Amino acid sequence: MISVNNLRKEFKKVIKDPGLKGAIKALFRPRHEIIAAVDGISFEVDKGEVLGFIGPNGAGKSTVIKMLTGILTPTSGSCTINGKNPTVDRKKYVKEIGVVFGQRTQLWWDLPLVETYTVLKEIYEIEEDRFRERMAFLNDVLELEDFIRSPVRTLSLGQRMRADIAASMLHSPKVLFLDEPTIGLDVVVKDNIRRAITKINKEEQTTVILTTHDISDIELLCDRIVMIDHGKNVYDGSLRELKRNYGQMRELTFEADSASRLTAESFCKGLKLSDDDISIKNDKNVFTIRFNSDSMPVGDMLNYTLSLTRVKDIAVKDADIEEIIRRLYKEGADKSE
Amino acid sequence: MRRAFKIYRILVAQNLKRLMEYKADFLTGAVSFLIDQAIGIAFIFIIFSQIPQLAGFTFEQIVFIYGFSQIPKGLDHLLTDNLWCVGYFIVRKGDFDKYLTRPINPLFHVIAETFQVDAVGELVVGICLMIYSAPSAGLYITPLSVILFVLVIPFSALIYTAIKIATAAVAFWIKSSGFIIQMVYGMNEFAKYPTTIYSNFIKLIVTFIIPFAFTGYYPCLYFLTGENPVFNIGCTVFISIIFLGISLAIWHKGLSAYESAGS
Ligand SMILES: Nc1ncnc2c1ncn2[C@@H]1O[C@H](COP(=O)(O)OP(=O)(O)OP(=O)(O)O)[C@@H](O)[C@H]1O
Ligand SMILES: [Mg+2]
């Protein structure tokens, strides 16, 4: 359905020294720096899948979405959706997709909301009956009735977001691209929007690609996540796998008197563990042992550690999904330093 | 084509509704326009109070050229005013995104979105001045010249549109090109007077580089004298098509250079 292959997007940035002097210098001798906002991203999405596309701020998510929706032309690499190339087959292609950028509206600022939908009806050539049916459906899930006669500029953020989402679903797109559709919304409106996404996905097998910084969006909506950072793939798999791969890791933190025997090798040997199952960090005799609780029950680990050394302030932490994601983001940041 | 027309009609209707809401906007626009026109016409009066002829043209003939030049300018102004916004802020703010995600031609979409009623002023002033000056301007009237008169106006308007498209498209590379549109568009002042009063350099520019002379003086030369229809009318049509072609190519290239804005 969607196939993204080694996608890359560079932006040219003019480097300016601060102040007027810098501005003048940049005018006569411009210095450019090329930054790769997206640096070789690949992934596939099947029909009917809901993909959570996540990554820290500035990772390149919006830039990827803009290439997938035909707004930006890739520097290199390719993306095909339903066999179409977004920038080449633009007119035909965009008819099959719906797009929402949570940060900005696509609606006509000065028109009452209803009028916006009638204009879109013409643009997307939706038939009268189908349009009515669709409006009723969207009205029902997104509760547009209260503000459908107000001009778009008077809508609150939550109302506007629902209006934008409805606009993106009006023409029954095959693929829906949602860039931060729940940003800044209260819990009720979030629920509303999630319900609309789930419903349209279940009833029409709409493929959804969604970026968000809200972990519950991912837990509630997404079959699979693709995580990127600094424009590169970091993780691709189901949420369950992510939990399985990283979720069993536990962290044992304590302060020890003597450091001599607390090495990864001695733990591996003593407990018959493999290298992947354990890692040890020592920061001025404060130890952090990360280990896989599947291979080594927490109790056994505690006993063994206590047999080696005397400890102060011992604590065991398990990793929830947010913790896992934080760790992955952090690993990405450390790696790039 | 039928569909494009329908969408255009709907967008324009919405635009007019919006206009009703911003009456003050409309009034200030109209007032500043009237002042502008009054200055232009007063200028001609002042010149002719000093001299009886300008480059071989009488007062009425100059008024006719001035009046004619307002028509293509007004038509373009009426239909494609949103191109200014493309140059000034739509591209810079990343608001061009939405035109690229809709199943109609982005250029058509952005143009169709505004219908600038202010332009009626130019059309009215142009028509009035032509009616006022026509009886004593010694027009060359034949069936052919009447047909060519009607035919040449849309092509002259296209010259304006082409120049605006090309200069607005520069924003795709440099983010904001409002000042460039302003600078180039400002050259249309030269269309109102005979090119023979300018230096050769300026004459060359307004004929072939920024060909505003084809939106006023050259076609009028034919309507006033009947001379050289091949150049005066034929070249107007030819140049407008060439320039439109070039500007569409620039626009198209610009689309793939568009960088949106961070979000
Ligand atoms: N139009 C642009 N011109 C120049 N640089 C840009 C542009 N758009 C994005 N960038 C840069 O590309 C990088 C990726 O930006 P992008 O907006 O894709 O991040 P993101 O993952 O969507 O982040 P966030 O979660 O904060 O929305 C950033 O470093 C940003 O500064
Ligand atoms: Mg973003």
Mean predicted confidence (pLDDT) in B76-97: 94
Report CA-CA distances (Å) from A93 to A87, A133, A201, A221, B109: 9, 24, 19, 25, 17
Taking the centre of ligand 1 as the mean of its atom positions, its distance from the CA of residue A303, in whole angstroms, is: 49
Structure-token pair, residue A180 = 């931060």
What pLDDT does B150 receive? 94
Taking the centre of ligand 2 as the mean of its atom positions, its distance from the CA of residue B127, in whole angstroms, is: 52
User: What stretch of H or E contains B179?
Assistant: helix B178-185
Residue A119 predicted with pLDDT over 60:
yes
B119 or A166, which is more confident: A166
What pLDDT does A162 receive? 95
What pLDDT does A280 receive? 83
Domain map (residue ranges) of chain B? 2-257
- Residues in A closer than 8 angstroms to B105, CB to CB, are 91
Mean predicted confidence (pLDDT) in A278-285: 82
* Least confident range of A137-141, A156-160, B47-51, B217-221: B47-51
Report yes or no for ipTM above 0.90: no
* Least confident range of A23-37, A152-166, B54-68: A23-37
- The one-letter code for the residue type at A272 is K
Q: What phi and psi, each to the nearest 5 degrees, are found at residue B93?
A: -85, -5
Mean pLDDT, chain B, whole residue set: 89
Domains identified in chain A and CATH numbers:
2-7+41-242 (3.40.50.300), 248-336 (3.30.70.250)
Q: What phi and psi, each to the nearest 5 degrees, are found at residue A120?
A: -60, -35
Per DSSP, the residues of A41-73 read: EEEEE-TT-EEEEE-STTSSHHHHHHHHTTSS-
Q: What pLDDT, in 10s, does the model give residues A171-208?
A: 999 999 999 999 989 999 999 999 999 999 999 999 99
- The one-letter code for the residue type at B122 is E
> Which range, A67-71, B6-10, B58-62, has the best average confidence (pLDDT)?
A67-71
User: DSSP strand E in chain A: where?
Assistant: 2-15, 31-45, 50-54, 76-81, 97-101, 175-179, 207-211, 224-229, 232-238, 249-256, 278-283, 286-292, 311-318
- Interface check for A89 against chain B (CB to CB < 8 A): the answer is no
What pLDDT does A335 receive? 64
Q: Does ligand 1 come within 6 angstroms of the Cβ of B36?
A: no
Cβ-Cβ contacts under 8 Å for A25 (sequence gap 6 or more): A16, A17
What pLDDT does B9 receive? 83
Q: Does ligand 1 come within 6 angstroms of the Cβ of A60?
A: yes
Burial of A220 (0-12, 13-18, 19+ CB in 10 A): middle
B36 or A322, which is more confident: B36
Ligand 1 atom nearest the C-alpha of A59 is 21
Mean predicted confidence (pLDDT) in A248-265: 77
What pLDDT does B55 receive? 79
Of the candidates B183, B176, B179, B184, the residue with the CA atom closest to the CA atom of residue B159: B184
What pLDDT does A47 receive? 94
- Residues in B closer than 8 angstroms to A95, CB to CB, are 103
- Give this prediction's pTM: 0.85
Give the whole-number percent of chain A exceeding pLDDT 90. 54
Q: Does ligand 1 come within 6 angstroms of the Cβ of A14?
A: no
Mean pLDDT, chain A, whole residue set: 87
What pLDDT does A337 receive? 54
Residue A241 predicted with pLDDT over 60:
yes
Distance from CA of A96 to the nearest CA of B (A): 9
Q: Does ligand 1 come within 6 angstroms of the Cβ of A63?
A: yes
Burial of A272 (0-12, 13-18, 19+ CB in 10 A): exposed
- Residues in B closer than 8 angstroms to A101, CB to CB, are 97, 263
- Interface check for B226 against chain A (CB to CB < 8 A): the answer is no
Mean predicted confidence (pLDDT) in A113-125: 92
What pLDDT does B138 receive? 85
Q: Which of B23, B25, B101 best tests the A interface by mutation, with the highest count of A CBs <10 A?
A: B101
Taking the centre of ligand 2 as the mean of its atom positions, its distance from the CA of residue A193, in whole angstroms, is: 19
User: What stretch of H or E contains B109?
Assistant: helix B106-112
Taking the centre of ligand 1 as the mean of its atom positions, its distance from the CA of residue A49, in whole angstroms, is: 25
Instruction: Determine the residue of A57, A62, A183, A228 to mutate for testing ligand 1's pocket, defined as the one with the most ligand atoms within 8 A of the Cβ atom.
Output: A62
State the pLDDT confidence band at A247, using cuts at 50, 70 and 90.
low
What pLDDT does A23 receive? 74
What pLDDT does A297 receive? 84
State the pLDDT confidence band at A259, using cuts at 50, 70 and 90.
low
A219 or A8, which is more confident: A8
Q: What pLDDT, in 10s, does the model give residues B224-257?
A: 998 899 999 999 999 999 999 999 999 999 999 9
How far apart CA B127 and CA B118 sit, in angstroms, is 15
Q: What pLDDT, in 10s, does the model give residues B24-46?
A: 667 777 777 788 788 888 888 88
Q: Does ligand 1 come within 6 angstroms of the Cβ of B143?
A: no
- CB atoms closer than 10 angstroms to residue B251: 20
